[in-house]
Structure 1
């Protein structure tokens, strides 16, 4: 009898602990119905506020690849709800030689095997299988500087 009571208390305590006690950002994503591979392996830390504001800190800007190349800024922010990252800041995806900011990432129905990326001008559906494992994210100065120039409007002046 005492063992089952202790087990019940342990389970209840583990359910009520804050998200930061999860071992990694990737575990947090899984617990919220999102694939772990949305964010790279090279995460320094993250914070999650009570209202769902998520801030993820990397060592610096870097490039990874899902279906296309993606650019992670040194800080990625979004509102985390079950199955979605809304209002994403700090993540861009390369489409036809243009870097477009990812605005929202949504898994409406996990059984569909699809994930939706809102890149402003379009909605792109990708296979969830592309995001099973966190990608390696590599700094590549030439591409990163080109991305920064475009973000700051220098690309239009050429």
Structure 2
């Protein structure tokens, strides 16, 4: 009887631990990990992603804390919500992202990695397509948020001028 009294708590704890281990584990990917699994570089989206959803149809919706500005080869602007259809190696019908080209802001329509071995990524910006080195997008960039940019506006560097 003394054996049971001293060992029952241990057995109950052991049983609870075994049940805990058998529960399914949720492996939620960060947006940057998701991009990698889909054959895209993690740095296509900034570090400041708050959350994202991916529907069964492949519609990706990425939520940022607020609109932000980053720089790759040129300036890139992200609205607070970026949407695109995600398939392997492609983000198509992109909404909420634009790039600065020759002092004009043009919407990014598609981002495609046809052959990762080529080391190139294709950006369709409507009036043109440009190929860039994949190495520019290895790491997620930092964002300059509108609040920071508004402070610069007081010094003569306006948000619209930087965006």
TM over 0.5: yes
Per the TM alignment, residue 23 of structure 1 is displaced from its structure 2 partner at its CA by 2.8
Residue of structure 2 in register with 1:112 after alignment: 118
Point out 4+ residue stretches in structure 1 off by more than 6 angstroms: none
> CA contact under 8 A between 1:118 and 1:124: conserved in structure 2?
yes
2:133 to 106, 111, 127: 127
- Go from structure 1 to structure 2 and tell me whether the alpha carbon gap of 1:120 and 1:59 turns closer, same or farther (over 3 Å shift): same
Residue of structure 2 in register with 1:90 after alignment: 96
Distance 1:106 1:23 in 2: 21
The structure that has the greater radius of gyration is 2
Residue of structure 1 in register with 2:61 after alignment: 55
Structure 2 spans left out of the alignment, 5+ residues: 1-21
Structure 1 spans left out of the alignment, 5+ residues: 1-9, 149-158
Per the TM alignment, residue 22 of structure 1 is displaced from its structure 2 partner at its CA by 3.1
SS of the equivalent of 2:85 reads strand
SS of the equivalent of 1:135 reads coil
Distance 2:63 2:159 in 1: 17
Residue of structure 2 in register with 1:37 after alignment: 43
Distance 2:135 2:110 in 1: 18
TM-score by length of 1: 0.78
SS of the equivalent of 2:43 reads helix
Per the TM alignment, residue 145 of structure 1 is displaced from its structure 2 partner at its CA by 4.3
Aligned residues: 132
RMSD over aligned CA atoms reads 2.0
